[in-house]
Structure 1
């Protein structure tokens, strides 16, 4: 997961060389990344179903191999259609198999409830560490061997990491521990879709995706427009990734002894306050670094907490599937955060409306988490079917 998220985190570094070498527009490159976010979200429920049925190892293995194919396609694409196939379709689908959904689903089954948030926090911290370390690694490679060869090296790394999935021995739904009923996946989906808290999590995660995608994709350009240098912009993204290593672990740890919905509400309120202070105060390098560090501490901390609430309410039998549907809301928000950022800027030559929108969404998300019923749903216990 650290490698998968790390490679995704640095794809913006390829914008300038790819567009210059091929003569493509930045809109084309941005659309490919937006499509990646959307397809990641669309594919996540389906890869989650496979992970719940057969275990996460096969899904992670397939995800890493498809990731490799997507990176090679990006490297040797000669048309925008082929590049979007690699960046948007293949890498987007691959992320659904080797990032949050499959890995968190496996860990949710491997660890008992009282240690689950801690385990998810550790995994998220490693994912953040991958994002942080991948920035200088890819920059160094691109400076030495060029962007095409760099993509090939990253593809080879995915192939080398694929065998690690053999050790990911979670218990699939057909053999889930402590399972006292024979709930089908259809019944699990009907139960979740009729639960108000499930939809509130979806709406809250939508705000999370919108905020993060907008900041990651457009804050460098925003800083340049305000007179800061590219050095400040890259340092800001690196600082976000660095702080995220500790912040994700801290958020997961807090979920072990505090009600997760209240921690999530606090995160969304804090994000909105931080964005409002950053946007309204005079812009200086110090304010950029302070904002980046604070945002990094709460950057991906919402993911293990949200996954924890889903498993807490609905159990771990179909956790990868149910989290996949919640994660779709996150990726829909990510798609709109990237896409609308470009549209609004082209129309107004400023990002002001996007900052106001991201702040408002954070406040709404914080309020929506407060009434979530996070108690475990009651089901009639049924004996498991005996083997013939």
Structure 2
């Protein structure tokens, strides 16, 4: 998961060399990454269904191989359509099998409810550590061998890591009979009729928008403002490093406080950090402070959101249900990356996207407050008792 998220995290480092070498616009590059985010979200519910039925290990193994194929296609594409196929379609689909939905779904079933917050926090921290390590590795490779060879090396690395999927083996649950299918339909019907489920989707839209925009366009934004490539890579590295501790602590905070309040606080904090970043003079120090602050709450939303879904709906179909919530995240990511390129090409500035990110953070913070996070089983118990 660390390698998969880390490789996605450094996509922004490829924007300048790829567009200059191929003569493509930032909007075209941004669309490829936007499609990656969208297809990740579209595939996640179906990947979750497969993982719920056959186990996460098989899904993770296939996802890593697809990731390797996608990176190889990116490296050796000479046309924009081929690059978009690799970066958008193959890598986007592969992420649905190698990141949060698959790994967190398995862990939610493999550990007890009392350990779940801790386990998801640790997994997120290790994933963040992978992101941190990938930044200097990728930057060094880009400087030494260029972007084509760097993507090829990353592809080989994904293929080598594929056998690690065996550690997430879990008992497969047979679900070919009518009873099991009806159970899934019931779970989906309960989720889709639950207001909190859609509020989580809306909040995750803001999360995806903010993270995808910053990850894809922050390096170019800093270069445009006169800072160095070192400052840009340092910013991504600080985000990933702070995310290691932040994701663990956010996940653990979900065992001490109500998760919806922690999520609300995170979104308000993101909006405040972004507003302060834009208000202060842009210097390497201000970039580092902003990167650390954003990194600390970068992926803390994921274990908390996953925790609310499992808390309310149970863990039997957690990968499927979280997959539908995660679609909201990736829909936001699609617009964050794509609009970043469109707005810059039209105005030669990212200001509108920064302001939009602040507004979405405030809205998401408000949306989480009224979520009903009581377990459906707990609400049904009094009714059954009365009957």
Same fold per superposition (TM over 0.5): yes
Structure 1 residues 255 and 342: alpha-carbon distance in aligned structure 2, compared to 1, 3 A threshold = same
Number of residue pairs aligned between Structure 1 and Structure 2 = 376
Structure 1 residues 233 and 17: alpha-carbon distance in aligned structure 2, compared to 1, 3 A threshold = closer
Aligned to 1:367: 366
Aligned to 2:385: none
Q: Does the residue aligned with 2:255 lie in a helix, a strand or coil?
A: coil
Q: Does the residue aligned with 1:184 lie in a helix, a strand or coil?
A: helix
Structure 1 residues 352 and 339: alpha-carbon distance in aligned structure 2, compared to 1, 3 A threshold = same
Q: Does the residue aligned with 1:282 lie in a helix, a strand or coil?
A: coil
1:330-369 pair list within 5 angstroms: 330-369=329-368
Distance between the aligned counterparts of 1:246 and 1:380, measured in 2?
Answer: 38
Query: Are 1:96 and 2:96 counterparts?
Result: yes
Query: Are 1:113 and 2:130 counterparts?
Result: no
Q: Does the residue aligned with 1:24 lie in a helix, a strand or coil?
A: coil
Query: Are 1:311 and 2:310 counterparts?
Result: yes
Query: Shift of residue 153 of structure 1?
Result: 2.0
Query: Shift of residue 235 of structure 1?
Result: 1.6
Distance between the aligned counterparts of 1:81 and 1:345, measured in 2?
Answer: 21
Deviations along 1:202-240, whole A, 9 cap, x unmatched?
Answer: 000001111111222222333334343333222212111
Aligned to 2:384: none
CA RMSD of aligned residues (A): 1.9
Q: Structure 1: state its 5+ residue gaps.
A: 176-180, 382-388
Whether the 8 Å CA contact 1:125–1:245 is kept in 2: the answer is yes
Whether the 8 Å CA contact 2:47–2:320 is kept in 1: the answer is yes
Aligned to 2:293: 294
1:1-388 pair list within 5 angstroms: 1-174=1-174, 184-378=183-377
Deviations along 1:331-380, whole A, 9 cap, x unmatched?
Answer: 01011111112222333333222222111111111111111111110387
Q: Does the residue aligned with 1:371 lie in a helix, a strand or coil?
A: coil
Query: Shift of residue 196 of structure 1?
Result: 0.4
Distance between the aligned counterparts of 2:193 and 2:73, measured in 1?
Answer: 41
Whether the 8 Å CA contact 1:192–1:322 is kept in 2: the answer is yes
Query: Shift of residue 322 of structure 1?
Result: 0.5
Deviations along 1:263-320, whole A, 9 cap, x unmatched?
Answer: 1011011111111111123333222211111111000000010000000000000000
Using structure 1 for the length normalisation, give the TM-score: 0.92
Query: Shift of residue 74 of structure 1?
Result: 1.4
Distance between the aligned counterparts of 2:144 and 2:33, measured in 1?
Answer: 25
Query: Shift of residue 174 of structure 1?
Result: 4.2
Aligned to 1:386: none
Distance between the aligned counterparts of 1:11 and 1:281, measured in 2?
Answer: 27
Using structure 2 for the length normalisation, give the TM-score: 0.92
The structure where helix makes up a greater share of residues is 2
Deviations along 1:99-152, whole A, 9 cap, x unmatched?
Answer: 111001000111111111111111111111111101111222333333323222
Structure 1 residues 358 and 161: alpha-carbon distance in aligned structure 2, compared to 1, 3 A threshold = same
Whether the 8 Å CA contact 1:71–1:91 is kept in 2: the answer is yes
Whether the 8 Å CA contact 1:261–1:369 is kept in 2: the answer is yes
Distance between the aligned counterparts of 1:190 and 1:161, measured in 2?
Answer: 37
Structure 1 residues 148 and 349: alpha-carbon distance in aligned structure 2, compared to 1, 3 A threshold = closer
